């Protein structure tokens, strides 16, 4: 799985045991939130300092 921030290069997401992912390139955690039907509704990009940003799904 790949993710990209701010029109930059793509970063591989490494799956973690707790369901989150980790980006070695950006040194950030990625968490996907799901709606009541189980579909991904948003992505949370969590920096090492605890700040987070919401991302959108691109089709």
Once rounded to an integer, what is the mean pLDDT over residues 43-48? Answer: 85
Tokens of 12: 């591989």
CA–CA distance, 6 with 46 (Å, rounded to integer): 15
Once rounded to an integer, what is the mean pLDDT over residues 48-55? Answer: 83
Which pLDDT score, from 0 to 100, does residue 16 have?
95
Cβ–Cβ < 8 Å for 31, 40: no
Cβ–Cβ < 8 Å for 8, 21: no
pTM summary value: 0.69
């Amino acid at each position: 799985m790949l993710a990209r921030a701010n029109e930059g290069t793509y970063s591989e997401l490494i799956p973690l045991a707790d369901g989150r992912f980790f980006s070695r390139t950006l040194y950030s955690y990625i968490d996907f939130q799901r709606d009541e039907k189980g579909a991904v509704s948003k992505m949370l990009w969590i920096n090492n300092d605890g700040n987070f940003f919401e991302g959108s799904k691109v089709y």
